[in-house]
Amino acid sequence: MTQGPLTTEAGAPVADNQNSETAGIGGPVLVQDQLLLEKLAHFNRERIPERVVHARGAGAYGTFTVTADVTRYTRAKFLSEVGKETETFLRFSTVAGNLGAPDAVRDPRGFAVKFYTEEGNYDLVGNNTPVFFIRDAIKFPDFIHTQKRDPYTGSQEADNVFDFWGLSPESTHQVTWLFGDRGIPASYRHMDGFGSHTYQWTNEAGEAFWVKYHFKTDQGIKNLTAEEAEILAGKDPDSHQRDLREAIERGEYPSWTVSVQVMPVAEAATYRFNPFDLTKVWPHADYPLIEFGKLELNRNPENIFAEVEQSIFSPAHFVPGIGPSPDKMLQGRLFAYGDAHRYRVGINADHLPVNRPHATEARTHSRDGHLYDGRHRGAKNYEPNSFGGPFQTDRPLWQPVAVSGVTGETVTPVHAEDNDFVQAGNLYRLMSEDEKERLVKNLANAVSGVTRDDIAERAINNFRQADEDFGKRLEAAVRELRG
């Protein structure tokens, strides 16, 4: 902003910004004081609806650099050659907390990356865990309702949380992650990120692959114990946001090594479990990590509201060579994320500087609506047209997926080794004895807060099915706490 006299929103100079205009000295304020009315009206509208989930967040700009050739798997131009750089924006967040909630809490962390590519923006919307609580988006509103404030008590209720988890055994794997050591990262810089869902990559020849993304922190994994987090959340609710901003200000730019797991499309149908099930990981022994990039954050936003709060991400924002999979959670998110932003920020949210393409130009026939900026001037707003308007390419961004059968509400296809508990048990057995003790303690403290014995027992039984020792130790710990 240039220096000079303070003005109104319309640009008129302000003579007095300290005193309201009144009818005589000490008299009532006049409605003709338009500066006063303008300031108060704008102040009342400084907030937009917060995100229902992932409301509490922080973000930064950075650079993604290709470090290995992956053109045999995808024709995406931003991945076309080693050394190629693409500007990015990354938003971190917690899931359940409101906008003013503390950062240091036990909660999954959002890990949403916007790549400003020359073919349009590509959004990869993931978490700091490779799995999730449910596998079908139709259960997502119900799940989130259990994590948010109860409509009667106004508080998060352990009964709601563990009633849902106990009745949804597919959540056992993610709950084991959440209550383990990685449930409370020490900072956004010291945690991994995952695309979590399965996506499609398509190469220049039209050959398709299923892929999963991994972002491994170069700062090393650091976590907080429940006791450390409780103290930090009370002392500094902004701990993670502050840590990220100050690290970048110091020139200590955080970075992540980016890898992908690749599954040939033909192997999906007969793989031992459903590869599109968001509650499961692909074992690295089956599909090893292929490193292909480096992501570095090196610039802080100038205004949190404009660039973090109003930033929008949608998994439906694909570029040529990258597309969706039949993952039922992903399919629901393809609609829900864009719809949330159209409601929360507005129909022209994509026009905002943080959201619009940086390496190319958006060419659409959409016009008007709230905050439309008139960018199209006198251009025609329909297609096809004979006035030189934008036209279709006739080349799909991704390859079609073969389907068969009849329509209807269907369960996820069952593969030979599909099971809701196996991977949770495998995760438990990978932990050291100290890690197991902390996991059981964290879970017991949470489960002991329920008011009904049947809810507690049902929740415990899921972990018992994952691993007998896990369930036995958890049952004993909850019994001791509940007396």
Residues carrying an active site annotation: 54, 127
Task: Specify whether the CB–CB gap between 353 and 306 falls below 8 A.
Answer: yes
- Structure tokens that stand for 152 in this block: 């009667």
Please report which helix (H) or strand (E) contains residue 256, including its range: strand 255-264
Work out the number of other CB atoms within 10 angstroms of the CB of residue 444. Answer: 23
Please report which helix (H) or strand (E) contains residue 139, including its range: none
Closest CA relative to residue 56, chosen from 12, 21, 91: 91
| Helix 433-447 with 468-482: angle, nearest 10 deg | 50
Work out the number of other CB atoms within 10 angstroms of the CB of residue 182. Answer: 18
Q: Which letter, b or e, does each residue of 248-266 get, where b requires 16 or more Cβ atoms within 10 Å of its Cβ?
A: beeeebbbbbbbbbbbebe
Closest CA relative to residue 143, chosen from 109, 166, 125, 111: 166
Kindly calculate the radius of gyration of the chain based on its CA atoms and give it in whole angstroms: 25
- Structure tokens that stand for 243 in this block: 């840590």
For residues 352 and 372, give the distance between their C-alpha atoms in angstroms, rounded to a whole number: 10
| Helix 158-167 with 433-447: angle, nearest 10 deg | 120
For residues 241 and 59, give the distance between their C-alpha atoms in angstroms, rounded to a whole number: 8
Q: Which conformational region is residue 183 in: left (phi greater than 0), alpha (psi within -120 to 50 degrees), or beta?
A: alpha
DSSP for 384-450, written as a single string: S-SSS-----S--SS------S--S--PPPP-TT--SSHHHHHHHHHS-HHHHHHHHHHHHHHHTT-
Work out the number of other CB atoms within 10 angstroms of the CB of residue 388. Answer: 8
